[in-house]
Amino acid sequence: MTSAPVPTAAATRDAAGLPVTLDAARLREDFPILAEQVNGHPLVYLDSAATSQKPLAVLDTERDFLTHANAAVHRGAHTLAAEATELFEDARATVAGFVGARPEQLVWTSGATMGLNLIAYSIGNASAGSGAPASARLALRPGDEIVATAIEHHANLLPWQELARRTGAVLRHIPAHDDGTLDLDAAAALIGARTRIVAFTHVSNVLGIVGPVAELVALAQRVGALTVMDACQSAPHLPLDLPALGVDLAVFSGHKMLGPYGVGALYGRSDVLEALPPFLTGGSMITTVTLDEAEYLPPPQRFEAGTQPVGPAIGLAAAVRYLQRVGLERIHAHEGMLAERMRAALVEIPGIRLLGDAPNAERVGLWSFDVEGVHAHDAGQYLDALGIAVRVGHHCAAPLHARYGVTASVRASTALYNTTDDVDRFVDAVAGIRPYFGA
Ligand code: PMP
């Protein structure tokens, strides 16, 4: 058997043609948790697709805010409240800028799951006749169609199932080929005159493949359908310009991109956000209120009822600045190198079946695989005993696993702080799984 050359931390070139590499060993100093021992071994953390680790800059920023500037935003007339409001709105501008958006196009959420539910519930409200006259264009009627892909995380599937049930719309699915890429011929046939919403992930959390966003947006635009993109698994790993991608709405989670838990964002094209009725109602999202009715603020505040995750949002802005300082191009190249190195070793191990091993697909640094004759949970425990943290299960994508005839897989996912050493320790350990279990 001939082996492909093993990728190393090869240099990419910057605009001036100079080699640029990401020094992961140096970055690790910013993430103290990576120096932990687990089960008597130095930790190899390969579960960043579930949640990333957080650099000191993020922890310090949130703590500094709470120590020196904490107050209720948008309300108080006192100095601290003004300072807190400024930090909070600066954070919005930073995170919006990270995805190429303007501040008023960015709504704080608790994460991607809330963002996707917000969209689906708001469209449900528009369908029930609520909202401004402009909301009517988002309303669904019985027989209208929502098209999602068959590879989605449950967070980008269940809200559409619920919306379809509430409105009488029909949910249809774009199938995937065996190699994990979407069947675009089927997509072209599915997306038609009745299609009102097309929902898809930018990067699959199981396959690691970057999806055909331009093609899906073009198909949706051809019939005037709204596009909704899940950017959870792309935001921390590659340069993201949501307006340039042409999607109408997109969501991502802070905790997967070096940021705190409990904060995420919804991006929306301005005219779409303007037309969407609110999902949650209450304080902080109104202009006037009487006992019988209320007028709502424009976006983004219209979607931010109640007290917001102020500290986490300010922490997320620090995470974004950290990612920007390292450089998303560089992160993408580094993680691509790790993924290639991982693949080169995994395909040599008997009984390992990679899910979504599409040739020439653009990818992030993530592989899920089946270990023949060994349950994924047993494989995960074996790796954990060696200090290697991976995710096992269906990764909240049960239909995709069913498509591959399995109920669970092992997933190893990288971030900017992973090294070739992490990959080598991981693949060496994977080689021991089947012999250990006598498979
Ligand atoms: N979409 C994708 C692709 C994901 O990977 C995840 C997290 N596993 C989510 C949505 C949901 O994110 P959260 O749990 O942060 O809301």
| 203 Cα nearest atom in ligand 1 | 3
**Residue among 184, 297, 396, 406 flagged as catalytic:** 396
- Comparing C-alpha atoms, which of 20, 21, 1, 19 is closest to residue 9? 21
**Atom 5 of ligand 1, residue of closest alpha carbon:** 205
What spacing in Å lies between the alpha carbon of 112 and ligand 1's midpoint?
A: 6
pLDDT over 70 (residue 10): no
- State the DSSP code for 413: E
- 67-82 pLDDT tens trace: 999 999 987 789 999 9
pLDDT over 80 (residue 402): yes
- Can you give the residue ranges of every domain in the chain? 24-55+327-437, 63-323
pLDDT over 80 (residue 136): yes
| 115 Cα nearest atom in ligand 1 | 16
Calculate mean pLDDT across residues 334-352.
Answer: 97
What spacing in Å lies between the alpha carbon of 388 and ligand 1's midpoint?
A: 22
| 114 Cα nearest atom in ligand 1 | 16
- What's the CATH number of domain 63-323, 3.40.190.10, 3.30.70.3450, 3.40.1020.10, 3.40.640.10? 3.40.640.10
Cis peptide, bond prior to residue 300, ω within 30 of zero: yes
User: How far out from the chain centre does Cα 63 lie?
Assistant: 25
- 222-264 pLDDT tens trace: 999 999 999 999 999 999 999 999 999 999 999 999 999 999 9
What spacing in Å lies between the alpha carbon of 68 and ligand 1's midpoint?
A: 32
pTM: predicted TM-score of the whole model, two decimal places: 0.95
For residues 403 and 137, what is the distance between their CA atoms, to the nearest angstrom?
35
pLDDT given for residue 8 in this prediction: 53
Q: How far apart are the first and last CA of the chain?
A: 22
pLDDT over 70 (residue 299): yes
**Atom 12 of ligand 1, residue of closest alpha carbon:** 112
Query: What are the DSSP calls for 331-368, one per residue?
Result: HHHHHHHHHHHHHHHHTTSTTEEEE---TT--B-SEEE
Work out the angle between the directed axes of helices 310-326 and 56-68 (0-180°, nearest 10). 150
Q: Which superfamily does 24-55+327-437 belong to? A: Aspartate Aminotransferase, domain 1 (3.90.1150.10)
| 264 Cα nearest atom in ligand 1 | 15
What spacing in Å lies between the alpha carbon of 88 and ligand 1's midpoint?
A: 24
pLDDT over 60 (residue 17): no
396 as an active site residue: the answer is yes
Residues lining ligand 1, judged by CB closer than 6 Å?
49, 111-113, 153, 155-156, 201, 205, 230, 232-233, 253, 396
- Comparing C-alpha atoms, which of 345, 343, 373 is closest to residue 436? 373
For residues 347 and 361, what is the distance between their CA atoms, to the nearest angstrom?
16
pLDDT given for residue 18 in this prediction: 47
CB 57 within 8 Å of CB 67: no
Across 391-429, b (16+ Cβ under 10 Å) vs e yields bbbbbbbeebbebbebebbbbbbbbbbbbbebbebbbeb
